[in-house]
Amino acid sequence: MNQAIQPCRKKWAGTLTDRQRFNRQMHYESVDRCFNMEFGYWEENFEQWNIFKDNGITNNAEADRFFNFDVIKLYEYPWMNPAFEQRVIEETGDKQIIINQDGLLAEVPKDGHNTIPHFIKSSITTPDDWKKCKEQRLRRDDPQRKVDVEALKKLYPSDRHFPVGLWCGSMIGKIRDLLTFEGLAYACFDYPDMVEDMAETCCVLVEDHLDQVLGEIDFDFAWGWEDICFKSGPIVSVDFFRDVLVPRYKRINAKLRAYGIDIWFTDCDGDLRPILPLLIDSGVNTMFPFEVNCSGHPADVLKEYGKDLRIMGGFDKMSLGAGPEAIKSYMETLVPLVERGGYIPFCDHRCPPNVKPEDYLYYLDLKEQMFGLK
């Protein structure tokens, strides 16, 4: 049960519901004021920021209520069922060697602090390994994949005041999670048919789910997760993305469009510009959280692609950590983007703990001053 959260600030004033505002802003229509949201915070923020510790705020959902952001919901459903059993294999000094829920052998800190694990080995290295995993964990006829539509209707009624996004999966990001970064890179060359079958499996599982819920629940947008880019671009080739992934995105997009869903964001860090034209052509027309130090300033990309593209995020985390002057300077560069529409500003990843809490509150105050109800 959610604990009672006492908001530390008033909700931004407005004349539209959160749902109306989100949909109008993402369709380049006039709004009362900017949609107000944030991506979240590192685990260390909840341990180090007094504003969280003193008020019992322990996770991102509680933080959203604490800061009284506009409400946005993301509907998600299981991908791999069952997941691999997570267990400790070995302990060495301040490290643990574990098998995680994706079946990866990984080295992690024993104290559990938030960091990217060192992945040692995947449980899937050959087509036979993949066949076994697919048969055991990714069955299309798994009873757990049957949707309780009536329960969803109660959770997301048609007269709700907040937007809801429909999960459209991951065509390659989850595969990277199964194979590791290096494993995917090698598999694309050593076992291309296996990798394509993995992408096809991801796609049909999404299609099966969409067939159960589209037309039953009135979703406002679609969302997915890839996270396949780093500072120098995507970890798969542009040719692979075009030939293997784009056709599958298009199949999903056709189903979405048939039910009026024309906003689709994918969560992808790093520099996604090399594959951005392919994403847009596939129907994925919204970038999230748009890391500035990898993909550049959002103004440049929005200028290049016009109203074919939307961006959610794009506030430079480096500026956020540099103090009020840098925050104000960067915020001012976003004013034209908010005014044109199709852009919702927030930190371009989880807010890191190096940001001072007082600077973060300044950032929230300034954002309301610049983009709130006039």
CA count, 13 A, side-chain hemisphere, 203: 19
3-state secondary structure of 116: coil
Q: Let me know the angle formed at the C-alpha of 343 by 227 and 310, rounded to the nearest 5 degrees.
A: 55
Question: Hey, what domains does the chain have and what are their CATH numbers?
Answer: 18-80+123-371 (3.20.20.210), 85-122 (no CATH)
Secondary structure (H, E, C), 249-302: HHHHHHHHHHCCCCCEEEECCCCCHHHHHHHHHHCCCEEECCCHHHHCCHHHHH
Predicted TM-score of the model (pTM): 0.94
Q: What is the pLDDT of residue 20?
A: 98
Q: Which residues contact 351 (CB under 8 A, 6 or more apart)?
A: 38, 39, 40, 41, 42, 45, 317, 320, 360
Element (H, E) at 227: none
Contact of 212 with 144, CB cutoff 8 Å:
no
Q: What is the pLDDT of residue 78?
A: 87
* Amino acid at position 227, single letter: D
* Neighbour count for residue 123 (Cβ, 10 Å): 17
Q: What is the pLDDT of residue 3?
A: 66
Task: Output the tens digit of pLDDT for each of the chain's 374 residues.
Answer: 456 899 999 999 999 999 999 999 999 999 999 999 999 999 999 999 999 999 999 999 999 999 999 999 999 988 999 999 999 999 988 899 999 999 999 999 988 777 778 888 999 999 999 999 999 999 999 999 999 999 999 999 999 999 999 999 999 999 999 999 899 999 999 999 999 999 999 999 999 999 999 999 999 999 999 988 888 889 999 999 999 999 999 999 999 999 999 999 999 988 899 999 999 999 999 999 999 999 999 999 999 999 999 999 999 999 999 999 999 999 999 999 999 999 999 999 999 999 999 999 999 999 999 999 98
Joined together, the tokens standing for residue 148 give: 């309780």
